Amino acid sequence: MIAITSNKTSDERIQEIVQFIEKQGVQAHVSKGEDRTVIGIIGKADPKLAEQLRQMSGVEQVVKISKSYKLASRDFHPADTVINIKGVEIGGEQLVVMGGPCAVETPEQIDEIARLVKAAGGQVLRGGAFKPRTGPYSFQGVGVEGLIMMAEAGKKHGLLTITEVMTPEYVDVCAQYADILQVGTRNMQNFDLLRKLGTIQTPVLLKRGFSSTYDEFLNAAEYILAGGNPNVMLCERGIRTFETYTRNTLDLSAIPVLKQLSHLPVISDPSHGTGRRELVVPMTKASVAAGADGLIIEMHTDPDNSMTGDGVQSLFPEQFANLLVDLEKLAPLLGKKFDTHKEAILT
Ligand code: PEP
Ligand code: MN
């Protein structure tokens, strides 16, 4: 249930309404908008509460919300969430490009790729130090050493960093080195991991499970938000369908649907979404046209010899740079800003 106050309702009155709600043993979540404030009510409320709120001065409307997720929904939080990380805003006007290898391999590899991501105009360096591999004998990532290598490369080249965390025990160490923590598709419903991520403030990029509905996806985000971490972005990375030509089917509809249902930033991953290098460029552009706030794209200096199988979907540095030049032209037509020459203001 949400209670919507009028634009004339004072902050003091809103506080009184909140106190009244909390006295009933449920939580009140206030989302201040430009012309109205939404008070979301979480928990099992007394059936009389809706009527009582309707009678209160300052309350304009009371609406029942049937969705199982609350904090992630636009009903509870009408304005877009903008996550500011050291001066880089995600979810606002700025289009954000995260680029880098599937896995961190060596200090030289990640340093050189960071240099190229920065030179092309990207704002975030991606790279996995802990890799969720389908087979137990495949390369599993270089671990904590990789976090250190990536943090150094990010710092040296003025990029934010994003890396995957797979277990609750590694959340703190990953958060110590990276600016954004990625939850992979296979872990979208690892509830212990989500709960742990709710206890910190480090931004989280939550990837959609490859067989998950939007409802399940938003409920997974809700776990992190409910724990107290408001800095969550949603990432469409392709779902499993009957088609085998592509590795996954990038669900472009997810982008506008998630923007409608939720206030959280939406990022697209055309690399895992297609699994084919030649499709990454067109699907990146399509994602921006569909309203994505950012992209996460695999790029490698030597994709044929990359240590995970993801070389086939990694762009060559020149393709990555050319793509970003195209995005610079496209973004303004689609209500976004992107400047390949802008120095990221890392504060
Ligand atoms: C990755 O980003 O390298 C990755 C493993 O992604 P996903 O969880 O989407 O497969
Ligand atoms: Mn990968």
Q: What is the DSSP letter of 301?
A: S
342 has pLDDT over 80: no
Over 90: is that where the pLDDT of 108 sits? yes
78: DSSP letter:
-
Question: What is the residue with the minimal CA distance to atom 9 of ligand 1?
Answer: 185
Residue with tokens 């699994």: 275
- 86 has a pLDDT exceeding 80: yes
Neighbour tally for 240: CB within 10 Å? 12
On the question of pLDDT at 347 being above 80, the answer is no
When pLDDT is cut at 50, 70 and 90, the band that residue 341 belongs to is: confident
Q: Is the CB of 272 under 6 A from ligand 1?
A: yes
Query: What are the phi and psi torsion angles at 168 (to 5°)?
Result: -60, -35
Residues 6+ apart with CB under 8 A from 116: 299, 301, 317, 320, 321
pLDDT at res. 7: 85
The CB of 270 under 6 Å from ligand 1? The reply is no
For the cut 80, the answer to whether the pLDDT of residue 343 exceeds it is: no
Q: Identify the pLDDT of residue 238.
A: 98
Mean pLDDT of 122-133: 97
Interval 246-263 mean pLDDT: 98
Q: How many CB atoms lie within 10 A of CB 279?
A: 19
Question: Is 28's pLDDT higher than 70?
Answer: yes
| pLDDT at residue 193, rounded to an integer | 98
Cα–Cα distance, 35 to 158 (Å, whole number):
38
Torsion angle, alpha carbons of 281, 284, 286, 291, to 10: -160
Q: Which atom of ligand 1 is nearest to the CA of 102?
A: 3
Q: How far apart are alpha carbons 251 and 171 in whole angstroms? A: 29
Ligand 1, atom 10, residue with closest C-alpha:
185
Q: Are 139 and 308 in contact (CB under 8 A)?
A: yes
User: Is residue 101 predicted with pLDDT exceeding 60?
Assistant: yes
Structure confidence by residue, pLDDT tens digits, 32-75: 888 889 999 999 989 999 999 999 999 999 999 989 999 999 99
Average pLDDT, the chain: 96
How far is residue 335's CA from residue 13's CA, in Å, rounded to a whole number? 37
Which pLDDT does position 196 carry in this prediction?
98
SS (H, E, C) 210-229: CCCCHHHHHHHHHHHHHHCC
Atom of ligand 1 nearest to the CA of 238: 9
Give pLDDT tens digits for 317-329.
999 999 999 999 9
Q: How many A from CA of 132 to the centre of ligand 1? A: 8
Helix 254-261 to helix 277-290 angle (10° resolution) is 30
What residue's CA is closest to ligand 1, atom 6? 184
Whether 122 shows a pLDDT value over 70: the answer reads yes
pTM: 0.96
> Nearest C-alpha to atom 3 of ligand 1 is from which residue?
102
Residue 34: its pLDDT value, please?
A: 81
**Quick one: pLDDT band at residue 344, thresholds 50, 70, 90?**
low
Q: What tokens appear for 307 in the block?
A: 């240590």
